[in-house]
Structure 1
């Protein structure tokens, strides 16, 4: 029996945008958020020399959108996130509600038709990774002056492709810090950048969160110290002799 294999789709650059805490806004403000974000995306694309025709697909999400571009636009897409940050900062100075963004970038094989593709799923996992969300919350908390308006997470593979040459103009490798991105069954290392904060500060924030997570895990661990023989089932680590079955008569 001959198995017919699928043709590998073209490599695409994917960008996902999420408005932080959009659900906390009154319902009548949600459309205004989407209109403002759509306008910002159009401006950022134009300012980075990406014509509308090169946006192969755009899919609105509950809190933002997902944009598919040709793979060769990966570097321009990274620079586009700088412009998005500037536009969000300008918006937040003069308009309400504020727009604070989580942005994710991935690179992978994606077909022309709208549908499920592994790179899109990975992009969504990166965007919603607990470590990324927690890092953004910490950055916003530490900068109540409004100087933080966005954060970017990019997959390890896309990061190395983007900085494998002189493909970016406004985003630089040294501005990123590596974190572990985990969401549902997804777990991999990724790179994060937050305009307005250097990588050393980001590393400190990420390390503090990782240490707190480990401490919570260790606090909830059960350790049983057994002196002599023990009958029955014990949770956690047990030090001592255990006999399963009928106890001593």
Structure 2
């Protein structure tokens, strides 16, 4: 039985609408800001495994103990992106996804159900629609979806610093 791991993915919202000459800059800035947010939340890059770049984002596996930090990183990232977007164009907006499940750590690409579930949550039409709806009121800088399993373990288990069950209950569908 593989060990339970924390899974994290992100995607740049609207990357297909970014001018070609700015794509690499937007992608690299997103990578840097996500890494900074993860480090701020205590998630070490050295613990990352099964990394897979997705073009305008990535999917990765971390030790299960990093699960709360992966969720809390969204709060810090929101602030950093807000400040970045006040000074630079095009604005960078991100969708984040956090999941937890048994995963085998492997070298190279390897399809595993939890990674597929992570990618599907990140790309879910309901998640994208919610982000679009929020954008009619105020453009979302960071949108986070947390799988039910990750929510029960990290948030309801009261291991997160920024997301609490009493706060998030009104946002659950």
Q: Distance in 2 between matches of 1:61 and 1:47?
A: 23
Q: Deviation per CA, 1:164-219, whole angstroms, max 9, x where unpaired?
A: 43311112223335xxxxxxxxxxxxxxxxxxxxx4xx57xx7xxxxxxxxxxxxx
1:105 equivalenced with 2:90 (yes/no): no
Whether the 8 Å CA contact 2:13–2:95 is kept in 1: the answer is yes
After the TM superposition, which residues 60-209 of structure 1 pair with which residues of structure 2 at under 5 Å, given as runs?
60-113=53-106, 114-143=109-138, 146=139, 148-176=140-168, 199=170
Secondary structure of the structure 1 residue equivalent to 2:136: helix
Which position in structure 2 is the counterpart of 1:20?
13
User: Unaligned stretches of 5+ in structure 1?
Assistant: 1-7, 178-198, 207-249
Structure 2 unmatched ranges of 5 or more: none
Structure label with greater radius of gyration: 1
The CA deviation string for residues 130-149 of structure 1, in whole angstroms up to 9 with x for no partner, is 11111100101111xx5x31
1:37 aligns with 2:23: no
- Check the 8 A contact 2:82/2:141 in 1, yes or no: yes
For 2:42 and 2:161, how far apart are their aligned partners in 1?
Answer: 12
In 2, Cα distance between equivalents of 1:164 and 1:141: 30
Mapped contact 2:158–2:165 kept (Cα < 8 A): no
Q: Which has the higher helix share?
A: 2
**Structure 2 match to 1:230:** none
Q: TM-score, normalised by structure 1?
A: 0.64
CA RMSD, 1 decimal: 1.7
Q: Please give the alpha-carbon distance, in whole angstroms, between the structure 2 residues aligned to 1:48 and 1:111.
A: 24
TM-score, structure 2 normalization:
0.91
- Tell which has more relative contact order, 1 or 2 (C-alpha 8 A, sep 6+): 2
CA contact (8 A) 2:2 2:104 kept: yes
- The Cα shift of 1:32 comes to 0.6
